[in-house]
Structure 1
Amino acid sequence: MDHLSGMDAIFLHLEAPEVPMHVGSLMVLNLPEGHDDNFVEVVKRHIQERQHLAPLLTRKLVKMPFDLSDPAWVPDEHIDWDYHVRAITLPKPGSNTQLQALTARLHSSLLDRSRPLWELAVIDGLRSGQVAIYIKVHHSGMDGQAGVALGAALFDTTPQGRKIPKPLPKPAAQGDGVGMAELAASGLKHTAQQYVKLVKMLPDMARVAKSMLVPPRDADGQRDWSLPKNLQLLSPRTPLNKTITNQRAFAARTVPLAEMKYVAKAFGVTVNDVVMAATAGALRRYLKDLNALPEKSLTAGVPVSLREAGDGSANNQVSAVVIPLSTDEADPVKRLHKIRDASILSKGFMGRIKAVIPTDLPVLAAPWVISGLAAMTARAGLYDRLPPFSNVAISNVPGLQQQLYCAGAEVVCNYPVSIAFHGMALNVTVTSYNGRMDYGLIACRRTLPQIHELADFLLDEHRQLLAAAQALNEGAGPAVTRQSQTETRPSEARSDAAATAPRRRPPSKEAANGAASPVSTASVPRSRRSARPKAGKAAAVPAGASAAEAPSAEAAAAA
């Protein structure tokens, strides 16, 4: 029996109908030329032949007696493949707006805990003639190792695929036939092991706590007790920080990875800093339009991996840091530099403590204690009154920089679909894939109905940073940009034109792996376009995407 770690189980215990705790991805694929088979059946056979490569496909949870300990994984010998892999057809005209709305609806429903915790939908009816795949997996089972295994099961690097090794002989199945006494003994043993781990870590945790509370002495033997200038202890309240419903809204957008690297190199920051700066600028504009922009800077909850190099253990090892987004700063470039400084401070802090953050905390009767506290907090409306942990979740998930195929079809794009939570109604996750940076914005629909407007603001912030980087590299003076006065949401007609427009190569040497998307080309001021490379071959983009959209998904690894 494979018990969930304390951190894995938290994703189960905090789940409620309003806050599903699964992660997903949305992919758009080009079918092989001449393909005339039922693609959903092709995908189903593809997964069935590879199910032994990814244990999460064939395992389910079994609860401990009286919920006295965290549940455990057991094999499921009776998988209903027609339930887990299903076909959906979009109504006409089959636009990307419809596809993203469907993704939001699919993402809003809970997974059935009596089955393996994943579902996959093959979606046709796109007016581009392409197909889409949406997959969701519960975060309790989507650890780093499981993500790699799922990617190996779903994807190939050639259309022909690869030879799949035969599965090893299966041991005798335990299934649901495990006796109550055996379950109880296993649960108590697991809880005892968790307490032993915690006791062993206490001395290290105490040393780290002391180093955090007591600053080191300087050369004169004095201690500096003042707080860092860019440290923000509390997050302001915004319309995004309240109790949420189970309704979801989803928006997908794309920015070329080469342009992100170009901006990062020009200003001496990281790609992750650029992601946060663009998101911060979009949130500033959105809240300003609502007359709801706080004077105090918004903050982002940013996941941080606790996994040491070479650690292949199958559990979630992640924490989070809170980083000020400098939304009180009007200038995009100054905001970017402030975010960089805050990120460096947060990374240094996490580097000192991550080795002693426990990932397998024991809690007696954890399932009903934690679930009960979470439900009570939501029903009492405390998320509407207490200061939020952070205002928005932002995550950057590195992906593969090569062309992938699924069941012989070419994966065009790969959009992550993550988790919105009470008190933090918006989650912005971005993943890199084959020269692209694919954004997935998921939010409570009632809290953030204008999610596509926010997503278009995000694109415009990228354009401003790119223009400022080009101006800096061309020696056009200080890299200070003014806020754009007019932003209009790209129309469906413009999207279709963009889908077939030739794409320009990125503005840096690192662009060899992928061409810039049409949206970013349109974003560059005409006076700057001479700095952009020559047009190249267009990559396939599904019809209906806004200038930087192209739905796809990250099934291989979710944050």
Structure 2
Amino acid sequence: MALMPVTDSMFLIAESREHPMHVGGLQLFELPDGAGPDYVSDFHRELLELADVRPLFRRRPRFPVGTVGQFAWGNDDQLDIEYHVRHSGLPRPGRVRELLELVSRLHGSLLDRHRPMWEFTVIEGLQGNRFATYSKIHHALLDGVSALRLLQTSLSPDPDARDVRPTWSPRVRSNVFDKPRRREEVDPFTAAGRLVKDVAGLGGAATRVVNEAFREQAATLAFQAPRSMFNVPITGARRFAAQGWPLERVKAVGRAASATMNDVMLAMCAGALRRYMLDLGALPDRPLVAAVPMSLRARAGGGSAETSLGGNAIGLILCNMATDEPDPATRLATIHDSMLKGKAVYHGMSRLQITALSAIPLIPLAIGTIPGLTTITPAAFNVLISNVPGPRDPLYWNGARMQGVYPLSIPYEGQALNITVTSYAGSLEFGLTGCRRTVPHLQRLLGLLEESLQELEKATA
């Protein structure tokens, strides 16, 4: 039995029919040369024959579903691979529009807690000599950084390689029911001393956050975000939109404005959200505040590759999105300054301290399932925007080139829109996941992202 960290179990505790807590990914592949009409169905059949499964993908909550929360993992010794690995087809004409509709429906359904909490769907019938795969896994098992890293290590940069195995199946065969490798041994007295030191430092760290936030007028405090159309109760149905942009266009704007690629990505989102909400007559007078997760994996200690991939390790920066500012160049400068101040606040802190302080604006998400709470409590922030670095070079699955990878994430109660971005082979891939009822015309945001990037290019030329 493996105990869950609080950062993992909270995703199980907060889950309900209206609040699925899994992340996902949509991958587009080009059919390899010489692929016949049965290529995709044969591909699916081959996946079902891979009965060897990583320990991470055999985990399920150990305690009954009806308990208050699940706090430990157990191993499933009767894993049904045909349940987890599925085959689906698109209605004609098999456009991206039909693909996104299918993925939206798949992403809105809950994972079964009586089984390991992941699913993988192979999708055929896509126009352009392509097929797609959609994967989803519970956030209690993996965060977005871990999921993308696992995908990257599973595929191959060699188009001629034919030994590629899916993310759930290791290349080296092992006993199907073995246990995950243990982390490197750590002296318990040393670990306890480090924990006491970190906890003792939280008081001073919290004081420093508040002092610096008040001293710097541009800094953003939690619960100072304006009420917006996104900060309302949500349903469990999802809508998903995705598109990629050349990474060089984004980097060129960053070079011209002395800003980072992440700053430009946030400015693209700010410009698109500003126009989207203006068109709906719903733009607040005060600027939107984005919660921007940052990975803490570089701060993690040693351990096996398997265990280092699992779980969650994230901090949070609150960013002023300057949506009240009509000039795109000024908006980008404000975002750049806000992100610098947010990073400076955490400078010198341990991973535990960053996690604890980052949890403050996440408190409404954890208790947001209480009926009516989101309508009476202030919003800690308005929208979640994540940037997960991805593979730089093209990857292949037994000769099929991965054309694009688009992340799907979690809208929360009081947070109806989630924007997650990743980079892949010279492209910046946007995945927009929204509550189907609350966020109308989600697809329109893709066109507005392009308009926003064009405005930034003109403003920094």
Normalised by the length of structure 2, the TM-score is 0.85
CA distance in 1, matches of 2:456, 2:122: 37
**Deviation per residue, 1:499-520 (Å, 9 max, x gap):** xxxxxxxxxxxxxxxxxxxxxx
In structure 2, relative to structure 1, the CA distance for the partners of 1:439 and 1:453 (3 Å cut) is same
Structure 2: gaps (5+ residues): 165-169, 181-190
Q: Which residue number in structure 2 is paired with residue 134 of structure 1?
A: 134
Given candidates 376, 382, 407, the residue that maps to 1:385 is 376
Larger mean CA deviation between 348-357 and 154-163 belongs to: 154-163
Query: How far is 1:249 from its partner?
Result: 1.0
Q: Which residue number in structure 1 is paired with residue 185 of structure 2?
A: none
Given candidates 249, 256, 266, the residue that maps to 1:266 is 256
* CA RMSD across the alignment: 3.1
Is 1:308 the equivalent of 2:314? no
Q: Which residue number in structure 2 is paired with residue 426 of structure 1?
A: 417
Q: Which residue number in structure 1 is paired with residue 111 of structure 2?
A: 111
In structure 2, relative to structure 1, the CA distance for the partners of 1:437 and 1:50 (3 Å cut) is farther
Structure 2 counterpart SS, 1:24: strand
Structure 1 counterpart SS, 2:347: helix
CA distance in 1, matches of 2:30, 2:407: 19
In structure 2, relative to structure 1, the CA distance for the partners of 1:25 and 1:390 (3 Å cut) is same
Matches within 5 A, 1:496-511: none
CA distance in 2, matches of 1:173, 1:214: 47
Contact in 2 for aligned 1:242/1:422 (Cα 8 Å):
yes
Structure 1: gaps (5+ residues): 175-193, 216-224, 362-369, 473-559
Of structures 1 and 2, the larger Rg is shown by: 1
**Deviation per residue, 1:364-420 (Å, 9 max, x gap):** xxxxxx99x979743531212322121111011100111111243110011111111
Matches within 5 A, 1:3-402: 3-36=3-36, 37-43=38-44, 45-46=46-47, 49=50, 51-52=52-53, 54-63=54-63, 67=67, 70-143=70-143, 144=145, 147-155=148-156, 157-162=158-163, 165-169=171-175, 199=196, 201-213=198-210, 226-233=214-221, 234-309=224-299, 311=301, 312=303, 313=308, 314-357=310-353, 377-402=368-393
CA distance in 2, matches of 1:201, 1:156: 41
Contact in 2 for aligned 1:57/1:116 (Cα 8 Å):
yes
CA distance in 2, matches of 1:125, 1:204: 56
Query: How far is 1:357 from its partner?
Result: 2.5
Query: How far is 1:309 from its partner?
Result: 4.4
Structure 1 counterpart SS, 2:126: coil
Contact in 2 for aligned 1:284/1:293 (Cα 8 Å):
yes
Which amino acid letter does the alignment assign opposite residue 384 of structure 1? Answer: T
Number of residue pairs the alignment of both structures matches: 433
Structure 1 counterpart SS, 2:297: coil
CA distance in 2, matches of 1:310, 1:387: 33
Query: How far is 1:48 from its partner?
Result: 5.5
In structure 2, relative to structure 1, the CA distance for the partners of 1:374 and 1:241 (3 Å cut) is closer
CA distance in 1, matches of 2:98, 2:171: 39
CA distance in 2, matches of 1:410, 1:50: 25
Amino-acid identity (%): 36
Matches within 5 A, 1:449-528: 449-469=440-460, 472=461
Larger mean CA deviation between 388-397 and 300-309 belongs to: 300-309
Structure 1 counterpart SS, 2:443: helix
Contact in 1 for aligned 2:205/2:353 (Cα 8 Å):
no
